């Protein structure tokens, strides 16, 4: 089976690369001994295949149709059907030793293979941005497990040819979700940034580990530069701040709470929880579930997480916080930390950070701000005031992979005290963190973390920041805010939609119910709620099956299932917002 790939006009390796692979080449065309092993039958097959290719043009045997149809540039043909990335027995290795690098002579085949992977990815990227393409081709888990139209996820003991790997790459994308699609609104992280993507490719190519400067010199310094930028944006002095990139917002929140506890009780590190009084932490009732998870992981226990009441907009009520702290103390509990939210997951609410900071200062409590979602808003001069008071926090979680659109994952924990992260987590593994290295070992940041191996999450963010500048991020974020306002205004005019909170959105979250005509006649109350509860899941199911759009829903407190619209996708336009509303009406009107 033949594939097409693009090589630049002036690429000197084009000819060698094409000829190299046109036949299932024995290892090295100059290697006559191996060439002799190519049978007459095999040669005939090659001729047949070449004739077939000429007749039908470039083909790509995948369940994804016409994957190469839009490659208009000059094409070179290559044959990877007999090429392997690995060989396991002598016969195969003698005949098909067209291995990828680092195999000797593997350079051209590696290039052919990777260019074809790029072709597949480009095709997918183009489709992702095309509103006419489906967001997903939904299948149930059992269908994927059983295998689909030649796409088999089972693994074999024997190597498969590179051709098959390309088909599998195509099919993996085909049956996935196009999170960069303009009508993908399902999660807080969405979109497909091409520069970020390039950053991720480079990161994977470098394939190093963040634990020491020794093996990640450039990335380590980049991390420092990015953290410095983030401290400045929050309003902290570089000299007083510290931080680390972590694998996601939940881990960043875990770090915040871990360090908060260590600050208050450094003996925890050696003696464990038995050395501590009954400590409790307080969190907004709209706060992220990772705070409870952190309490469970850290041995604090979920019963010792006090959820503080919020107002109807989802903001923590300061008087409730004060009341909860005093009640806990009366009960003999010892509050040590308050987790405030800057951009809650469902409502996008910003807590009153100054009021919370005042209370924390009065009671000597650590203030952690979960700005995993809302942190990006600090980049907008129009909207950053919504996080006013964040500079008074002791620690902040901020996920550039959400509002800033950096490819997953990219998340930071920022601490307003130098040295605390390291003191809390340091274990001084002698085989990694030797004090007598040739460089300044302050740049070995790995002992600040609870991990050993740490993925390089910084390069894509650094590259995107280069590409956009701070102002580019700002413009993008301001546009999301405009879209949220537009969406709110359109919904407000529609009889069959009802906003969960009827006020101009403070962030890009807009929560709403859709009422099919038959529900409009049922009076507000239990019976109507019973019916309304089923509407969003039914609409979503149909939407997913049709692959037309994706939006999240959830119940919250006494509010039955409602949709959460959210904007963080640079590809989304007003027309997509209009489309979503029409689509919900179309799918929901007869329910
Ligand atoms: N807090 C993780 C992301 C949640 C969401 O995308 O809705």
The pTM is what? 0.87
Three-class SS of 73-112: CCEEEEECCCCCCCCCCHHHHHHCCCCCCCCCCCHHHHHH
**What pLDDT score does 520 carry?**
85
Element containing residue 562 per DSSP (H, E): strand 559-565
Give the number of residues written for the chain. Answer: 591
Cα 580 from Cα 192, distance rounded (Å) = 20
CA 53 to chain centre: 40
Buried b (16+ CB within 10 A) or exposed e, 18-49: bebbbbbbbbeeeeeebeeeeeeeeeeebeeb
Report residue 439: phi and psi, to 5°. Answer: -120, 175
Pick the atom of ligand 1 nearest to 372's CA: 1
pLDDT for 246-283, tens place per residue?
999 999 999 999 999 999 999 999 999 999 999 999 99
CB of 583 closer than 8 Å to CB of 559: no
pLDDT band at 431 (very low <50, low <70, confident <90, very high): very high
pLDDT for 224-251, tens place per residue?
999 999 999 999 998 999 999 999 999 9
Burial of 334 (0-12, 13-18, 19+ CB in 10 A): middle
**What pLDDT score does 86 carry?**
63
Query: What radius of gyration do the chain's Cα atoms show?
Result: 28
Positions of E strands within 472-538: 497-499, 510-514
Going by C-alpha positions, the residue among 448, 349, 385 that lies closest to residue 371 is 349
Cα 101 from Cα 96, distance rounded (Å) = 14
Ligand 1: residue of 177, 185, 189 to mutate (most ligand atoms within 8 A of CB) is 189
Cα 66 from Cα 59, distance rounded (Å) = 7
Cα 463 from Cα 58, distance rounded (Å) = 35
Pairing of strands 510-514, 559-565: antiparallel
Cα 168 from Cα 209, distance rounded (Å) = 28
**Ligand 1 pocket member 288 (CB < 6 A):** yes
Cα 481 from Cα 568, distance rounded (Å) = 9
**What pLDDT score does 497 carry?**
97
Whether 368 shows a pLDDT value over 60: the answer reads yes
Structure tokens at 253: 């929140």
Structure tokens at 2: 């033949």
* Averaged pLDDT, 59-77: 43
**What pLDDT score does 82 carry?**
72
Pairing of strands 184-185, 395-398: unpaired
**Ligand 1 pocket member 188 (CB < 6 A):** yes
**What pLDDT score does 154 carry?**
95
Question: Which range has the worst mean pLDDT, 36-45, 74-83, 267-276?
Answer: 36-45
Ligand 1: residue of 287, 344, 373 to mutate (most ligand atoms within 8 A of CB) is 373
**Ligand 1 pocket member 187 (CB < 6 A):** yes
Strand order in the sheet with 559-565: 184-185, 550-556, 559-565, 510-514, 497-499
Whether 303 shows a pLDDT value over 70: the answer reads yes
pLDDT band at 15 (very low <50, low <70, confident <90, very high): very low
Cα 291 from Cα 257, distance rounded (Å) = 8
CB of 471 closer than 8 Å to CB of 203: no
Pairing of strands 279-284, 184-185: unpaired
How far, in Å, is the centroid of ligand 1 from the Cα of 277? Answer: 33
Three-class SS of 346-377: CCCCECCHHHHHHHHHHHCCEEEEECCCHHHH
Percent of all residues in the chain with a pLDDT value above 70, rounded to a whole number:
84
Element containing residue 486 per DSSP (H, E): helix 458-492
Q: What single string gives the DSSP state of each residue in 112-150?
A: HHHHHHHHHHHHHHHHHT-TTS-SB----HHHHHH-BTT
How far, in Å, is the centroid of ligand 1 from the Cα of 150? Answer: 33
**What pLDDT score does 228 carry?**
98
CA 234 to chain centre: 23
How far, in Å, is the centroid of ligand 1 from the Cα of 563? Answer: 14
**Ligand 1 pocket member 564 (CB < 6 A):** no
How far, in Å, is the centroid of ligand 1 from the Cα of 180? Answer: 16
Going by C-alpha positions, the residue among 335, 289, 283 that lies closest to residue 310 is 283
* Averaged pLDDT, 467-474: 98
Cα 246 from Cα 13, distance rounded (Å) = 41
pLDDT band at 114 (very low <50, low <70, confident <90, very high): very high
How far, in Å, is the centroid of ligand 1 from the Cα of 345? Answer: 6
pLDDT band at 185 (very low <50, low <70, confident <90, very high): very high
**Which residues on neighbouring strands pair with residue 2, listed in sequence order?**
79
First to last CA, the chain: 48
Burial of 141 (0-12, 13-18, 19+ CB in 10 A): exposed
* Averaged pLDDT, 70-99: 53
- At which residue do the structure tokens 């002698």 appear? 430
How far, in Å, is the centroid of ligand 1 from the Cα of 402? Answer: 9
Cα 272 from Cα 253, distance rounded (Å) = 20
**Ligand 1 pocket member 345 (CB < 6 A):** yes
CA 311 to chain centre: 30
Whether 55 shows a pLDDT value over 90: the answer reads no
CB of 568 closer than 8 Å to CB of 407: no
pLDDT band at 98 (very low <50, low <70, confident <90, very high): low
Tell me the H-state helices in 154-216. 162-174, 194-206
**What pLDDT score does 88 carry?**
54
């Amino acid at each position: 089976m033949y594939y097409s790939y693009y090589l630049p006009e002036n690429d000197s390796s084009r000819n060698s690369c094409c000829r190299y692979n046109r036949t299932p080449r024995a290892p090295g065309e100059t290697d006559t001994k191996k060439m002799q092993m190519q049978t007459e039958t095999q040669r005939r097959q090659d001729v047949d295949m070449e004739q077939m290719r000429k007749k039908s043009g470039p083909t790509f045997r995948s369940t994804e149709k016409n994957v190469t149809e839009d490659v208009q540039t000059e094409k070179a043909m290559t044959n990877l059907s007999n090429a392997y990335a690995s060989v396991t027995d002598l016969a195969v290795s003698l005949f098909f030793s067209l291995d990828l690098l680092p195999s000797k002579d593997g350079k051209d085949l590696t290039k052919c293979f990777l260019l074809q992977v790029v072709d597949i990815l480009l095709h997918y990227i183009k489709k992702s941005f095309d509103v006419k393409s489906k967001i997903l081709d939904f299948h149930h888990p059992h269908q994927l497990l059983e295998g689909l139209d030649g796409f088999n996820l089972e693994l074999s003991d024997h190597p498969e040819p590179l051709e098959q790997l390309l088909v599998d790459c195509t099919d993996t994308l085909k049956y996935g979700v196009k999170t960069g699609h303009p009508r993908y609104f399902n999660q807080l992280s969405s979109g497909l940034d091409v520069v970020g993507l390039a950053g991720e490719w480079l990161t994977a190519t470098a394939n190093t580990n963040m634990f020491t400067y020794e093996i990640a010199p450039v990335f380590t310094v980049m991390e420092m530069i990015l953290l410095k930028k983030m401290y400045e944006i929050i309003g902290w002095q570089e000299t007083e701040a510290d931080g680390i990139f972590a694998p996601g917002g939940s881990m960043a929140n875990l770090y915040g709470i871990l360090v908060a506890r260590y600050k208050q009780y450094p003996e925890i590190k050696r003696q464990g929880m038995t050395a501590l009084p009954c400590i409790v932490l307080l969190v907004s009732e709209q706060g992220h579930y990772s705070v409870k998870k952190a309490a469970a992981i850290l041995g604090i226990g979920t019963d010792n997480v006090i959820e503080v009441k919020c107002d109807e907009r989802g903001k923590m009520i300061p008087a409730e916080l004060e009341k909860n702290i005093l009640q806990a103390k009366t009960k003999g509990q010892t509050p040590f930390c308050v987790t405030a939210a800057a951009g809650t997951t469902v409502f996008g609410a910003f807590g009153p950070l100054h009021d919370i900071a005042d209370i924390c200062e009065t009671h000597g409590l650590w203030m952690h701000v979960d700005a995993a979602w809302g942190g990006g808003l600090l980049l907008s001069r129009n909207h950053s005031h919504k996080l006013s008071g964040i500079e008074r926090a002791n620690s902040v979680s901020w996920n550039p992979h959400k509002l800033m659109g950096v490819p997953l994952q990219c998340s930071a924990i920022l601490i307003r005290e130098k040295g605390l992260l390291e003191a809390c987590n340091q274990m001084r593994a002698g085989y990694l963190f030797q004090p007598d290295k040739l460089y300044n070992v302050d740049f070995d940041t790995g002992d600040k973390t609870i991990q050993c191996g740490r993925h390089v999450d910084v390069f894509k963010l650094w590259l995107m920041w280069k590409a956009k500048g701070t102002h580019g991020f700002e413009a993008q974020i301001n546009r999301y805010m405009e879209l949220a306002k537009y969406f709110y205004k359109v919904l407000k005019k529609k009889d069959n939609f009802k906003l969960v909170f009827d006020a101009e959105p403070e962030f890009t979250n807009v929560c709403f119910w859709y009422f099919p005509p038959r529900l409009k006649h049922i009076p507000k109350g239990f019976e109507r709620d019973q019916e309304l509860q089923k509407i969003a899941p039914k609409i979503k199911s149909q939407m997913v099956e049709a692959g037309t759009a994706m939006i999240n829903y959830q119940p919250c407190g006494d509010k039955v299932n409602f949709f959460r619209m959210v904007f963080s996708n640079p590809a989304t336009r007003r027309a997509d917002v209009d489309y979503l509303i029409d689509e919900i009406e179309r799918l929901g009107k007869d329910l």
